[in-house]
């Protein structure tokens, strides 16, 4: 069985308060982006391991045991004693980029195992499992534009469609630690609630829709700020860093001619159309 975990961007990202457990409550809108990994799982008929992981495409640091698709398998295996599996993961989504790549792989692994082994788990149950794997994972279970609060796993519906808009995603060769980015943040409530901002035309978002991480990440990595400024210069109607970085996205009108520049070597660029 094969599935294609997609990335996400954050439309607005407001860190509102620090929680007693050390995490932060935030407000954001998650929006899926059709930049995808590939994940294939088959039953392992030989050897005596519970799983094998074959990985290709972009490099991921860390041990196999810490790969989020393995963590997702183990989470369900503990409860359902699953058959041994042979996992093939092709990474196309840059890791540690604010695009939720690892989180998406984990959520899609849960959905794939649920279907493959007829576990009959509901979306709500899958979201609970996903939240154990990372703050960003639960979104990918339903994978539809949604307003998120809490640590990023308390959802409420929004009527927002960017279907047909073009997106340019630029990930410079810079690693931003999510943990460090949160540690440097000063939680505060935005003047205008994000739920109100997203109701306005996209052309109006620039003055109101903020990613709070930019304030601390841009001074450390001016190159990330420059990418955002370049995207505006080249006609983006809205541009922002996503997640805790380092990726920056620009939204362009459906009819716009997208910029073709490379933003420097070792930079990952994706151009696509939102659904
Ligand atoms: C910044 C976002 O990308 C917005 O979508 C996400 O909240 C980050 O989600 P994520 O990468 O899945 O984060 P996790 O791997 O769960 O947590 C990494 C670290 O970020 C911090 N963290 C994460 C999420 C959150 N709501 N508050 C936090 O303080 C914690 O120190 C945590 O140890
Ligand atoms: N399958 C995987 N794909 C990508 N990263 C993985 C995976 N499994 C574990 N990781 C680890 O997770 C971290 C990155 O996870 P992920 O890609 O979700 O973060 P991100 O791109 O920063 O997105 P966000 O911060 O928005 O959640 C890296 O430290 C990486 O080593």
**Same domain, yes or no: 141 and 95:** yes
pLDDT digits (tens, 9 = 90+) for 60-106: 988 999 999 999 999 999 999 999 999 999 999 999 899 999 999 99
**Same domain, yes or no: 103 and 138:** yes
**Same domain, yes or no: 68 and 152:** yes
**Same domain, yes or no: 228 and 140:** no
Among 126, 157, 188, the domain boundary falls at 157
Segments forming the whole domain that contains residue 265: 166-273
Work out how many domains the chain is built from and give that number.
2
Confidence grade of residue 22 (pLDDT, cut at 50, 70, 90): very high
Give the C-alpha separation, 19 to 229, whole Å.
33
- Is the C-beta atom of 182 inside 6 A of ligand 1? yes
> Tokens standing for 161?
């469609």
pLDDT digits (tens, 9 = 90+) for 125-163: 999 999 999 989 999 999 999 999 999 889 999 999 999
- Is the C-beta atom of 178 inside 6 A of ligand 2? yes
Nearest CA to ligand 2 atom 22: 96
223 assigned binding-site residue:
no
pLDDT score at 154: 92
**Same domain, yes or no: 55 and 97:** yes
Among 121, 138, 157, the domain boundary falls at 157
Q: In angstroms, what CA-CA distances link 273 with 51, 92, 167, 236?
A: 36, 17, 6, 14
Among 127, 157, 187, the domain boundary falls at 157
State how far Cα 128 lies from the chain centre. 17
pLDDT score at 264: 82
List the CATH number of the domain containing 120: 3.30.230.10
233 part of the active site: no
The strands making up 85-91's β-sheet, listed across from edge to edge, are: 2-3, 38-43, 85-91, 51-57
Residues 117 and 123 sit within 8 Å (Cβ to Cβ):
no
- Is the C-beta atom of 136 inside 6 A of ligand 1? yes
Give the C-alpha separation, 52 to 65, whole Å.
10
Question: Which backbone phi and psi does 268 adopt, to 5 degrees?
Answer: -90, 130
Nearest CA to ligand 1 atom 4: 243
**Same domain, yes or no: 10 and 121:** yes
> Tokens standing for 146?
């949604």
Strands (E), the chain: 2-3, 6-18, 24-36, 38-43, 51-57, 85-91, 146-149, 154-157, 166-171, 238-241, 248-252, 268-273
Q: Please calculate the CA angle 37-42-48 and round it to the nearest 5 degrees.
A: 120
């Amino acid at each position: 069985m094969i599935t294609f975990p997609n990335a996400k961007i954050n439309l607005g990202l407001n860190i509102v308060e620090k929680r007693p457990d050390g995490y932060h409550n935030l407000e954001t809108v998650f929006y899926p982006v059709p930049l995808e990994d590939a994940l294939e799982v088959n039953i392992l008929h030989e050897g005596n391991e519970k799983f094998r992981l074959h990985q290709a495409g972009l490099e991921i640091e860390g041990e196999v045991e810490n790969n989020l698709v393995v963590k997702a398998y183990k989470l369900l295996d503990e409860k359902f004693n699953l058959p041994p599996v042979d996992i093939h993961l092709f990474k196309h989504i840059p890791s540690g980029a604010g695009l939720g790549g690892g989180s998406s792989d984990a959520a899609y692994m849960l959905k794939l195992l649920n279907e493959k082994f007829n576990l009959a788990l509901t979306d709500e149950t899958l979201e609970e499992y996903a939240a154990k794997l990372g703050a960003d994972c639960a979104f990918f279970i339903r994978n539809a534009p949604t307003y998120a609060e809490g640590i990023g796993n308390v959802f409420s519906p929004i009527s927002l469609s960017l279907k047909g808009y073009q997106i340019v995603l630029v990930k410079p060769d810079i690693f931003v630690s999510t943990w460090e980015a949160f540690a440097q943040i000063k939680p505060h409530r935005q003047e205008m609630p994000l739920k109100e901002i997203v109701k306005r035309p996209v052309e109006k978002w620039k003055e109101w829709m903020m990613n709070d991480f930019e304030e601390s990440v841009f001074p450390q990595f001016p190159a990330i700020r420059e990418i955002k400024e370049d995207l505006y210069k080249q006609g983006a109607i809205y541009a922002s860093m996503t997640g805790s970085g380092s990726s920056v996205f620009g939204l362009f009108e459906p009819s716009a001619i997208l910029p073709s520049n490379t933003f420097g070597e070792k930079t990952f660029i994706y151009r696509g159309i939102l659904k």
